[in-house]
A and B are shown apart, each in its own frame.
Chain A
């Protein structure tokens, strides 16, 4: 296990390094350059533009810029935004916190809804409860999250006026983005809980417990569910990775100032320092999440523990 962990960690660092080079080059090869957040306009003269790029070091070869950037990173200097001059350390503190609040709320919502419904659907297999829950799950996986967001905004903000349609960071503003972000994960988790429960309900030990005269609810909650939850929980690592992807869209729609919103915005505005730092941060997060998923998978199922 120790050598596996070492190899896995080395692999993660390698991917991070490759990604940093690719992202660095990719951003700079894109058409258009930074507008300097109002310092430059499309009408700025060539000299002004060149002076601006020189001041930021953008006139140097890309590999020189890359090594200078690595040097700054090593000294803990993350740089500043080209658009509004805010230090990236400050952006990191506020935006990462907002994203964590949103992501963890979504994760919590999905488990609170999905696990009880999944258990109920498995216990009441082939009844209307099962069919309703599974129908809901199919819908949850089929409705694109951004469209769900629009529909929720239409009803709860525009028609009923109960919830604000965007913004941060009061609890009412958190409700809709968290629900939208939770939707697909809830559907997947519910289906997984159900099929895992069905599998374990057939186990011999269940028959033995029933024969012992244990009440049915105790058999299901204390024994079957405990076994059935293992794959569901070990799915959490993968789900964290998916959340990163969905967060890019959901945060953009609800103008939730998280890392996803910041990344989309900085890519579109060619804010190189912000875009490259936060894309690496998200890649790092996904790698950690996948790493956790692998470990979780191995712990949950020792037979297939990765060699």
Chain B
């Protein structure tokens, strides 16, 4: 940290802080460089990027309508003429359903995590920055949901509003924001005592300015690492709930719903369930590996210990 000799001239101070700010450690540039060198993270990013692309453009390229039943063409095996992955018990094209299913699962995972990340970061930031009663209130809510099994809360919530994706999204968001809030609060709590915050405050910067310009960039890394794990958790939760009939409702295909529909045909037509299952496993592995890789890059001390 540069010396903090008293400078009366406020403009000079400002110029100095701006210079320090511009010369802050190039952590993000380094991180990007590391990320592209870290094989784990690279592999994870490739998988995640691939599925993101599929989720965006896949359904538009689907050869058939996902709900179109052709009862003369039921249970065709994969690689049948005209049906790359075959058809299900109602003669619906499996590839078309899979492409939409990937979009739904990804949307649920990304959507819930984005909500949880924003809510959790804001709550954690306020709690860590203002401490006192704000901290106690946020901490009370975190305690309330932390440690509760996601699936239990989801089942109860769905009991109240009826089966469907809305219940899944609300339940996952309701539980997962607490994870972000805990991490961000802890980091802000410590960062607030650092010199750069004190000097920004001495310059008369407002609380909001300090939080957004000075604290946020320091916590966003850990939040993103957590985010990749939480997307995976949300995808698994959605699939599990759809599997037991509480998530996506027919004819809408989510990956878990497809596995459920195929589960009655395991002996002779196992691909109905195995193909969407393999997609989930790949997606979740990609996200977890990406998270591990990002963690190694942003906090090299933890490398190989987790």
* Interface residue ranges, A against B (CB under 8 Å): 11, 15, 23, 25-27, 29-32, 138-139, 141-147, 150-151, 153-154, 158, 191, 195, 198-199, 238, 241-242, 244-246, 248-249, 252-253, 263-264, 267-268, 275, 279, 282-283, 286, 289-290, 293
Contacts and interface: CB of A to CB of B under 8 A. Distances in A.
A248 B159 contact: no
Given A138-B288, A146-B243, A198 B305 contact: yes
A118 to B, nearest CB: 13
A138 B232 CA distance: 13
Given A144-B239, A146-B239, A146-B243, A282 B288 contact: no
B149 interface: yes
B236 A26 contact: no
Given A138-B285, A195-B305, A245-B150, A147 B259 contact: yes
Interface majority SS on A: helix, strand, loop or mixed?
helix
Interface in B143-174: 143-144, 147-152, 155-163
B160 A27 contact: yes
A252 B246 CA distance: 12
B281 interface: yes
B281 A142 contact: yes
A146 B161 contact: no
B289 A138 contact: yes
Contacts of A244: 149, 152
Interface in B228-277: 232, 236, 239-240, 243-246, 256, 259, 263, 266-267, 270, 273-274, 277
A166 B148 CA distance: 28
B144 A279 contact: no
20 contacts: A11-B143, A23-B156, A25-B160, A26-B159, A30-B159, A144-B284, A145-B240, A147-B259, A147-B281, A151-B277, A158-B267, A244-B149, A244-B152, A245-B149, A248-B149, A249-B151, A253-B243, A264-B244, A268-B163, A283-B148
Contact of A267 (B159, B288, B289): B159
Nearest to A147: B277
Contacts of A249: 151, 240, 243-244
B160 A30 contact: yes
Interface of B: 143-144, 147-152, 155-163, 232, 236, 239-240, 243-246, 256, 259, 263, 266-267, 270, 273-274, 277, 280-281, 284-285, 288-289, 305-306
B147 A263 contact: no
A141 B277 contact: no
Contact of B152 (A15, A245, A253, A293): A245
Select the residue from A146, A158, A249 with max chain B CB neighbours within 10 A.
A146
Contact of A286 (B149, B161, B243): B149
10 pairs of A and B residues whose beta carbons are closest in the complex? A245-B149, A26-B160, A245-B151, A267-B159, A147-B277, A142-B285, A290-B147, A142-B284, A158-B267, A195-B305
Given A264-B244, A289-B147, 14 more contacts: A30-B162, A139-B281, A146-B244, A150-B259, A150-B266, A191-B306, A242-B149, A246-B149, A248-B151, A248-B155, A252-B244, A253-B243, A279-B159, A286-B148
A76 to B, nearest CB: 24
B240 A146 contact: yes
A217 B280 CA distance: 41
A32 B162 CA distance: 9
Given A27-B159, A144-B236, A154 B284 contact: no
A167 B155 CA distance: 22
A99 to B, nearest CB: 13
Contacts of B244: 146, 248-249, 252-253, 264
B263 A195 contact: no
A77 B239 CA distance: 37
A93 B99 CA distance: 46
A202 to B, nearest CB: 11
Contacts of B149: 241-242, 244-246, 248, 286
Given A245-B151, A293-B147, A279 B277 contact: no
A32 B157 CA distance: 15
B277 A29 contact: no
A146 B242 CA distance: 11
Contact of A141 (B148, B157, B246, B288): B288
B144 A15 contact: yes
A248 B284 CA distance: 21
A246 B155 CA distance: 12
A253 B242 CA distance: 12
B156 A154 contact: no
A91 B216 CA distance: 52
A275 B152 CA distance: 12
A128 B76 CA distance: 42
Contacts of B148: 241, 283, 286
Task: Specify which of A11, A147, A248 lies most central, judged by the most chain B CB atoms within 10 Å of its CB.
Answer: A147
A252 B281 CA distance: 21
Given A30-B160, A199-B305, A267-B159, A158 B266 contact: yes
Given A245-B152, A252-B244, A154 B147 contact: no
Contacts of A191: 306
A31 B259 CA distance: 27
B270 A154 contact: yes
Contacts of A146: 239-240, 243-244, 256, 259
A81 to B, nearest CB: 16
Contacts of B150: 245
